[in-house]
């Protein structure tokens, strides 16, 4: 583990100070990120939106590496929502091209670090050559366990829930009273994966945009005004430290003695 953190932060940097504040025994098991703001990042620089997506793709690479080095077990990245089809075809096509390039290049890094890639969302609609690459990299990394990266593609939280209901009805194996929260969650795309503990959104938007609606029921939310292409180790460390300061009560009282406080 120490090995993984070698040269992670520069001596004397703000990141180094943040790293000292991190409690490695209380890291979130699962981080989910709504990677937002690529377009605005580009617009601010008078660049075409696609340049923002390219820079965003570099930030993905860095975020995966940073989470791996810190020992985060599950990372879910919202890369393309079902609603994103509403964008101009030229932007949509370029986004798929960028993903294709990412998969062609990053497969080696995933293998080197024994990271499993899993796609969540609907395959139908994704360009066939991208589907092929996704299937290839998923197969290549399927037995890896050091970390799982879930890529949410053509993903919609409501669709995921509707699909789970359909599957339960079609299978016709469960009686109504056998369906509880645990059995239901086994029909979601994320079956077997713990719910996110921490949900990060960049670009300051205060909404969940149809992301993991079921799974984020009790996630802690951390939002930065910075755009996704600028998301760096410093942001990640800050999010983790803020997360560790939160008290997760899950509906209970602060701690048993709090009941007797005035
Ligand atoms: C996030 O950045 C990337 C995707 C949704 C694919 P945006 O493209 O949404 O950037 P903004 O929100 O327009 O700035
Ligand atoms: C959410 O961002 C989807 C992804 C990050 C892939 P959007 O930019 O599409 O969300 P809205 O439109 O601001 O809700
Ligand atoms: Mg956006």
Q: How many CB atoms lie within 10 A of CB 261?
A: 7
Q: Which ligand is nearest to the CA of 78?
A: 2
Over the stretch 215-256, which tens digit does the pLDDT of each residue have?
999 999 999 999 999 999 999 999 999 999 999 999 999 876
What pLDDT was estimated at residue 247? 94
For residue 262, pLDDT over 80 is answered with: no
Burial of 80 (0-12, 13-18, 19+ CB in 10 A): buried
Q: What is the pTM of this model?
A: 0.96
Element (H, E) at 86: none
Please name each of the domains of the chain with its CATH number. Answer: 26-156+196-244 (3.40.1180.10)
Residues 31/72, Cβ–Cβ less than 8 Å: yes
Number of neighbouring beta carbons within 10 Å of residue 174: 14
Cβ contacts of residue 216 below 8 Å, gap of 6+?
32, 195, 196, 199, 208
DSSP-derived secondary structure letter, 77 = E
Residues 112-157: tens digit of each pLDDT: 999 999 999 999 999 999 999 999 999 999 999 999 999 999 999 9
Predicted confidence band of residue 3 (pLDDT cuts 50, 70, 90): confident
- Arithmetic mean of pLDDT, 82-98: 98
- Distances 106 to 15, 65, 99, 116, 133 between C-alpha atoms, Å: 25, 11, 10, 12, 11
- pLDDT, residue 39, reads 98
Q: Which of the following is catalytic: 3, 7, 38, 84?
A: 84
* pLDDT value at residue 254: 82
Q: Can you tell me which residue has the tokens 């990053």?
A: 106
Which residues are paired to 77 by β-bridges?
33, 151
93 is catalytic: no
Q: Render pLDDT for 177-196 as a digit per residue (tens, 0 to 9).
A: 999 999 999 999 999 999 99
| Residue among 3, 7, 23, 36 flagged as catalytic | 36
Residue 37 near ligand 1, beta carbon < 6 Å: yes
């Amino acid at each position: 583990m120490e090995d993984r953190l070698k040269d992670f932060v520069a001596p004397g940097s703000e990141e180094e100070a943040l790293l000292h504040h991190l409690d490695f025994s209380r890291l979130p098991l699962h981080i989910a990120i709504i990677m937002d703001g690529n377009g605005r990042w580009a617009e601010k620089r008078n660049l075409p939106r696609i340049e923002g997506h390219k820079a965003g793709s570099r930030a993905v690479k860095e975020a995966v590496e940073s989470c791996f080095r810190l020992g985060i077990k599950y990372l879910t990245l919202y890369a393309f929502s079902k609603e994103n089809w509403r964008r101009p075809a030229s932007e949509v096509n370029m986004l798929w091209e960028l993903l294709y390039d990412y998969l062609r290049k990053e497969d080696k890094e995933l293998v080197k670090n024994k990271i499993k890639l899993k796609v969540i969302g609907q395959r139908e609609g994704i360009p066939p050559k991208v589907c092929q690459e996704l299937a290839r990299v998923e197969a290549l990394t399927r037995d890896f366990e050091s970390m799982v990266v879930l890529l949410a593609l053509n993903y919609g939280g409501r669709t995921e829930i509707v699909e789970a209901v359909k599957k339960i009805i079609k299978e016709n194996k469960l009686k109504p009273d056998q369906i509880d929260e645990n059995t239901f969650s086994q029909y979601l795309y994320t079956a077997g994966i713990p719910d996110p503990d921490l949900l990060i959104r960049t670009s300051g938007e205060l909404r969940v945009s149809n992301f993991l609606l079921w799974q984020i029921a009790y996630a802690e939310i951390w939002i930065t005004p910075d755009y996704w292409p600028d998301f760096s180790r410093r942001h990640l460390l800050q999010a983790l430290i803020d997360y560790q300061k939160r008290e997760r009560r899950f509906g209970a009282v602060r701690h048993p003695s709090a009941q007797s406080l005035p």
